[in-house]
């Protein structure tokens, strides 16, 4: 009976040590950064525009998504979601504005 008790105590000590070591090693900023790509924004704002202007808006939105992906964000198409907070949406940048494309994306 004594070896069983010793094994239980050693197992508990090892488990607690592993948990403590993991919490020290784990990066605190490992939260997933998420952004939502919404093509409907272009469709709604594109009423009355020419096809070339719409294509430019789509290109700008895709470029913003590519920049966010390169920065470590997970970019999800809004059509694959049931709902999402509006602050996660990638803002539409018109005509090559040099503003930061990450305004609407946040860490989760």
Residues 64-106 have pLDDT tens digits of 889 989 988 899 988 888 888 888 888 877 654 444 444 455 5
Per the CB < 8 A criterion, the answer to whether 90 and 75 are in contact is: yes
Return the H-helix or E-strand segment holding 74. Answer: strand 74-77
Return the H-helix or E-strand segment holding 68. Answer: helix 51-70
The Cα angle at residue 67 between residues 62 and 70, in degrees rounded to 5: 125
Please tell me what DSSP assigns to residue 86.
G
Residues 7-63 have pLDDT tens digits of 999 999 999 989 888 877 776 655 678 899 888 877 777 677 788 888 888 888 889
CA gyration radius, the chain: 24
């Amino acid at each position: 009976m004594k070896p069983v008790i010793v094994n239980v105590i050693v197992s508990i000590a090892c488990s607690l040590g592993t948990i403590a070591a993991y919490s020290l090693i784990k990066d605190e900023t490992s939260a997933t950064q998420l952004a939502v790509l919404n093509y409907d924004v272009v469709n709604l704002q594109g009423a009355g525009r020419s096809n070339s202007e719409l294509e430019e808006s789509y290109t700008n939105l895709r470029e913003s998504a590519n920049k966010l992906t390169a920065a470590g964000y997970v970019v999800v198409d809004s059509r694959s979601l049931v709902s999402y907070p509006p602050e996660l949406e990638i803002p539409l940048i018109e005509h090559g504005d040099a503003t930061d494309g990450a305004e609407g994306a946040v860490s989760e």
